[in-house]
Amino acid sequence: MAGSSRLTHPLRLWITPGIGSLEEAILCSLSYADIFDYPLTLAQLHRYLIGFRASPQDVAVTLHRIAGVASRHGYYTLSHRACLVPLRMRRERTAVLMWSRALRYGNAIARLPFVRMVALTGALPMHNVEPGDDYDYLIVAAPGHVWLSRLLIVMLIVKPAARCGDVVCPNYILSEDTLTLRERDLFHAHELAQMVPLDGYSVYERLRHSNSWADDFLPNAGGPPLTMPLPAGSCRPGRRILESVLRIAAGAWLERHEMDRLRRTINPTDGCQEVELSPDRCKGHTDAHGQGTFEAFAARLRGRE
């Protein structure tokens, strides 16, 4: 990647999108995917091209004149990492087996009171999973009911799934009136672009519109990566009645109680910047995955200088 001063400063690229050439954008994108041991198809390389708007045809033509890129069975990776292609193919087969349960858990969450949107996140939307991996979801809840929604999800979905050997993680819950993410970096742009909405498509569209900054990082990644048949969750019979009953029976006290209880369990001041427990959002990324991804990305960029 010689010739680009921007790429010698990974932090700048991480928080400030824009790359000077298509060749550099391709190499950066393959380097990002390499963090997850994940070769890309041509369609994925175009969709997740970092900081550079280009057509699929331009990406295809440019790929063939870049040194250091390998192609195998329709997958592209850094040349010294072509050995990852069989791994990706095996993980895709695992993902196919997990999808039916991912949809079932997502639709079950969507039927609960106060849930306005459910999206599958993490590795499964990319078909990059091992047996036993988590089912990760981003959920949007009705204003004022983030924590009651989380309690219902844990009691009615997460714990029964655990008894079946599945790990369901509602690890990001947002209030419908605060859809703009506070984090604006390459990692969260990828999270937005990779998520697959399972319910509440109109809310999903508002979420993407409220975070249009992500388009600067991934300018070719508009809309969801997959189109799913979406039920009309807001029109389900009886849900409004049940929500009214719960508002009266639970009220603001239970919201505050649940938030304070989790704060006692997960202290967001313990050095992890990826935990946020507030009235309008519950983000429980205690493993600091975003920071770890940045460090791995920086190491790969510096290794290519």
CA dist., res. 290 & res. 13, Å (int): 14
What's the CA gap between 199 and 224, in Å, rounded? 12
Place 10 in a pLDDT band, splitting at 50, 70 and 90.
confident
Residue 138, pLDDT > 80, answer: yes
Sign of CA dihedral 156, 247, 237, 224: negative
Q: What is the mean pLDDT of residues 274-303?
A: 82
Residues 6+ apart with CB under 8 A from 80: none
User: Greater confidence, 120 or 20?
Assistant: 120
Mean pLDDT, residues 148-168 taken together = 95
Q: Are strands 115-121 and 135-141 parallel, antiparallel or unpaired?
A: antiparallel
Sheet holding 135-141, edge to edge: 196-199, 115-121, 135-141, 168-175, 281-284, 275-278
* CA separation for the pair 150, 221 (Å, rounded): 29
Residue 234 vs residue 240, higher pLDDT: 240
Q: Is 102 exposed, middle or buried (0-12, 13-18, 19+ CB in 10 A)?
A: buried
Instruction: Over range 145-169, report the average pLDDT.
Output: 95
Q: Give the pLDDT confidence score for residue 130 in this predicted structure.
A: 97
| Average pLDDT rounded to a whole number, residues 38-44 | 97
Q: Look up residue 10 and give its amino acid.
A: P
Q: Give residue-wise pLDDT tens across range 65-94.
A: 998 899 999 999 999 999 999 999 999 999
| Surface-to-core class of residue 20, CB atoms within 10 Å of its CB (0-12 exposed, 13-18 middle, 19+ buried) | middle
What's the pTM value of the predicted model, to 2 decimals? 0.88
* Mean of all residue pLDDT scores within the chain: 88
Highest mean pLDDT: which of 17-26, 41-50, 243-252?
41-50
Q: Look at strands 168-175 and 135-141 and give their pairing.
A: parallel
**8 A C-beta contact, residue 253 and residue 261:** no
- For residues 13 and 186, the answer to whether their CB atoms sit within 8 Å is yes
